[in-house]
Structure 1
Amino acid sequence: MTDHSTPTAPGDALGVGDEVEVVAGQIAHGGFVVARHEGRVLFVRHAIPGERVRVRVTEGGAGDRFLRADAVEVLEASPERVEAPCPYAGPGLCGGCDFQHVRLPEQRRLKATVVQEQLRRLAGVDREVTVEPVPGDVDGLRWRTRTEFAVDDAGRAGMRRHRSHDVIPVDDCLIAAEPIVGTGVLQGHWVGEKAIDVVAPSVGSPVVVRLPTGTDDAPLVTERLRARSLSRDVDVNARGFWQVHPGAAATFVDAVIDGLRPQPGERCLDLYAGVGVFASALAEAVGERGQVVAVESDTTAVAQARLNVEQTPWVHYVQGRVDHVFGVESTGRVAGPRRGRRRSAPRRPHSDLPPSADVVVLDPPRTGAGKAVVEAVVALAPRALAYVACDPAALARDTAYLQERGYALGSLRAFDAFPMTHHVECVAIFERAR
């Protein structure tokens, strides 16, 4: 029988369960550090660059390009290491947090390194990056105002194990806002449910939604936005999209408006517009002599957005996928029986799409806007555009497309809107080269 507890397996024979000693290398996109053992590349969780650790292989085997592993023992610790505050954060446990073992300032430095590396590698941009805390954050805990808890076969609510469907019952989640934990959901009995969504809105009591429930069946909640550029209460579906950090929405709105400097009378385009936060801020800036065209695909979000922007009738919503509204070929894929085929796109742009725009906001999903959408945006010849990115690699790819088409990266701000995790939000401002 092979002894999986000793570091004897050669690099080309490593498999799940084997343990080896490695030195943690650079941080990688996704919350891992890169390590090597006898030529094999390992993506290691729960380590810090420079540490010597014993790792256990969790995925992969002979012939794979890389292996995944957990640091199960720290042999030489980094001075940036701390005891994880959450008992469910560690090797083989909850997959929600990546960096609870790292001091908060170092977490932000690691995230900045990832953004810098992605921009350099994918866009050829060498840019110093600082990840800023989001206002209201003290210790990186109790910030998440929207949390989905999985439910196991016994009806206990909890979190999923990293890269697994297994549910770990928990009695607390330290990054969840206190009102969420205070609902008693984690002590409830949820037999027959798939998951439980809990929302702690800015206004009113927490809302508990049993899943599966579509957005049409979920209640509305009110979020209070108090940014310098926009002060307004916004109604949003409890299962719709809203920033989960209580200070994030206002921070991003001000970063976008400060970067674009929209002027009275200008025409603005808000892509992937959601419930109208950026559209509303743009409308305040350009005034009733201006125009804002917002594009969003989600039916429920559009219906709610039209109510949210009623007081600024110079905002016009177009419902549809952004690529289809532009009349360009989709880069998405079809799920289900036709999986793998490209979605069909209209042959011409939507009739409500303006022929030009002064400024554009793009807030795409994690996959990014993509080459075809970037080309369509550039064809409108905006003087500036703001790109709100939740994925550094997608931002870097689209940065490369924009630079190829004459738009230079001006300012770049990165925000720690998801402490204890590897996620980072960026607001990049691009300007047309003179």
Structure 2
Amino acid sequence: MSSPTRARRTRARAPRPEAGPDAAGTEVELEVGPVAHGGHCVARHEGRVVFVRHALPGERVVARITEGVASAKFWRADAVRVLRADPARVEPACPVARPGMCGGCDFQHATPAKQRELKAQVVAEQLHRLAGLDLEVVVEEAPLAGPEGLRWRTRTQFAVDAEGRTGLRGHRSHHVVPVQDCPISTRAVIDSGVLDQRFGNVETVEVAAGSDGAAPLVVITPTPSRHANLPKLPDASVAVRTPEGLHRVSGRTWVGERITVRGQEHAFRVGGAGFWQVHPAAPAVLGEAVLAALEPQPGESALDLYSGAGLFTALLADAVGEEGSVLAVEGEERAVRDARRSLHGQQHVELWAGSVEESLTDVEITSRRVDVVVLDPPRSGAGREAVQGIAALGARAIAYVACDPAALARDTAFLAEHGYVLDGLRAFDLFPQTHHVECVARFVPRG
């Protein structure tokens, strides 16, 4: 007798969830929770997380959804009305530092002291979440170029809209908000004249004002495959950026910077496309913090990673003296060329152009004695491979300069895996009105 035929089992597929209607534009009433990394606070609406800009913890606000669909796990929103305000709330100094407008400043609606408090909370939260550390963090007030955290930005990139007007982009948007002023930019940047002009076939206009008092440098990036229409800017040097490099139009293609640290003055030449700290006090503040963290001694061997135009290289060279040595590694060749000009004649300084990760496997580094290391990586941080190479050198102290607390916290955990512990942390408010904060962390071998 044949066995009965078995029915084939089939697993019913769950219907794919529909995205649902776009919630953008919907207004909801929210109790605002803690500050989060990125310039917003966290709230909840019907079980969903809402990241709210232009709000402060503890406030009750009406928020307008800017991004989100019905099925999304979180929404983004702007606080458009404040029903219960934090005592530290103030009126923004800039007319476009408001919901739906410029995305550059995250905290203009808070006093400078409140901003530092919020940034300290973010740094502490990131170190707890990603590195398992519970630290009390204090964000130090840096010397300001102007009152109330304004007029400090010496380098500003403006976007250009379809009508040729210069402005700033909205938050998470390509939309350009035309401006006549940027209150966090220095007078030298604003007086360059770029905000009074119309540009044709131009994507961005960057203005850099050096501390040497010379005319600011304006770097123009044309629209791809289009010839830029350049207005006259008699009060500035002008250069055009193309895929082939920077091309001089008038004046010079670099910016001069001067700093004094521990009584020693240093002059630097920074190319128009090169990196330099945007707050005028930042180079000296960070330089002093690095020296305090490392305490480099005469005759020691120092390693400067992601060395840029040579800021920390120069300070370390002073500290270790001619009987010591400094090796600087930077991936951007133009920055290395700038450093060579600034550090010309320093025989105990070596400058390498190349990948930090690859350089840390080079026998010339792995076989030498390294007493102290400073690294100032990009916003994304150093990463596991670089951290492993740094730890393998066995330096007695590492100074990590970080502009992103999440990347710092992640790399702190990586360093702990390789036997280095966080031995000190200083945080500085070098970007007032924004969510950005600069940290200098000291690491030493465990035990």
Compute the TM-score of the two structures, normalised by the length of structure 1.
0.90
Alignment of 1:107-186 (within 5 A): 107-137=115-145, 138-186=147-195
Alignment of 1:238-253 (within 5 A): 238-253=272-287
2:250 maps to 1:217: no
SS at match of 2:424: strand
User: In the alignment, which of 371, 391, 395 is matched to residue 378 of structure 1?
Assistant: 391
The answer to whether the 8 Å contact 1:230/1:280 transfers is: no
The answer to whether the 8 Å contact 1:216/1:300 transfers is: no
Give the whole-Å Cα distance in 2 for the aligned partners of 1:369 and 1:59: 31
Paired position in structure 1 for 2:424: 411
Give the whole-Å Cα distance in 2 for the aligned partners of 1:251 and 1:355: 30
Cα offset, 1:123, TM superposition: 0.5
Give the whole-Å Cα distance in 1 for the aligned partners of 2:58 and 2:144: 31
2:206 maps to 1:197: yes
User: In the alignment, which of 419, 422, 433 is matched to residue 420 of structure 1?
Assistant: 433
Give the whole-Å Cα distance in 2 for the aligned partners of 1:33 and 1:14: 22
Alignment of 1:244-283 (within 5 A): 244-283=278-317
Give the whole-Å Cα distance in 1 for the aligned partners of 2:438 and 2:260: 19
User: In the alignment, which of 211, 217, 238 is matched to residue 207 of structure 1?
Assistant: 217
User: In the alignment, which of 289, 293, 313 is matched to residue 327 of structure 2?
Assistant: 293
Give the whole-Å Cα distance in 1 for the aligned partners of 2:150 and 2:433: 8
Greater shift, 397-406 or 206-215, is seen at 206-215
The answer to whether the 8 Å contact 2:59/2:85 transfers is: yes
User: In the alignment, which of 100, 108, 122 is matched to residue 108 of structure 2?
Assistant: 100
Q: In structure 2, list runs of 5 or more residues that go unmatched.
A: 1-19, 223-240
SS at match of 1:274: coil
Cα offset, 1:353, TM superposition: 5.6
Paired position in structure 2 for 1:57: 65
Paired position in structure 2 for 1:31: 39
Cα offset, 1:326, TM superposition: 2.3
SS at match of 1:194: strand
Give the whole-Å Cα distance in 2 for the aligned partners of 1:103 and 1:207: 32
Paired position in structure 2 for 1:342: none
Give the whole-Å Cα distance in 1 for the aligned partners of 2:272 and 2:142: 23
**2:177 aligned partner, one-letter code:** I
Cα offset, 1:410, TM superposition: 1.2
Identity %: 53
**1:186 aligned partner, one-letter code:** L
Give the whole-Å Cα distance in 2 for the aligned partners of 1:57 and 1:110: 23
Paired position in structure 1 for 2:409: 396
2:380 maps to 1:367: yes
SS at match of 1:25: strand
Cα offset, 1:64, TM superposition: 1.8
**1:286 aligned partner, one-letter code:** V
**2:199 aligned partner, one-letter code:** W
Give the whole-Å Cα distance in 2 for the aligned partners of 1:13 and 1:209: 43
Paired position in structure 2 for 1:333: none
SS at match of 1:26: strand
Alignment of 1:341-352 (within 5 A): 349=362, 351=364
Cα offset, 1:250, TM superposition: 0.5
The answer to whether the 8 Å contact 1:179/1:200 transfers is: yes
Give the whole-Å Cα distance in 2 for the aligned partners of 1:244 and 1:116: 24
Give the whole-Å Cα distance in 2 for the aligned partners of 1:353 and 1:181: 47
Give the whole-Å Cα distance in 1 for the aligned partners of 2:307 and 2:167: 32
Cα offset, 1:433, TM superposition: 2.0
SS at match of 1:136: coil
* Off by >6 Å, runs of 4+ in structure 1: none
SS at match of 2:137: coil
Q: In structure 1, list runs of 5 or more residues that go unmatched.
A: 1-11, 328-348
User: In the alignment, which of 333, 341, 346 is matched to residue 312 of structure 1?
Assistant: 346
Cα offset, 1:351, TM superposition: 4.1
SS at match of 2:218: strand
CA RMSD of aligned residues (A): 1.5
* 1:58-83 CA distance string (max 9 Å, x none): 11112222110000111111111001
**1:389 aligned partner, one-letter code:** A
Alignment of 1:76-91 (within 5 A): 76-91=84-99
Q: Which has the larger radius of gyration?
A: 2
Compute the TM-score of the two structures, normalised by the length of structure 2.
0.87
* 1:110-155 CA distance string (max 9 Å, x none): 0000000000111011111111111235310000000111001111
**1:123 aligned partner, one-letter code:** A
The answer to whether the 8 Å contact 1:229/1:253 transfers is: no
* 1:232-283 CA distance string (max 9 Å, x none): 1111112210000000000000000011000111111100000111011111
Give the whole-Å Cα distance in 2 for the aligned partners of 1:248 and 1:257: 14
The answer to whether the 8 Å contact 1:293/1:353 transfers is: no
**2:158 aligned partner, one-letter code:** F
**1:306 aligned partner, one-letter code:** R
Greater shift, 351-360 or 301-310, is seen at 351-360
CA change 1:373–1:287 in 2 (3 A) is same
Cα offset, 1:211, TM superposition: 1.2
Give the whole-Å Cα distance in 2 for the aligned partners of 1:283 and 1:114: 34
The answer to whether the 8 Å contact 1:273/1:363 transfers is: yes
**1:376 aligned partner, one-letter code:** G
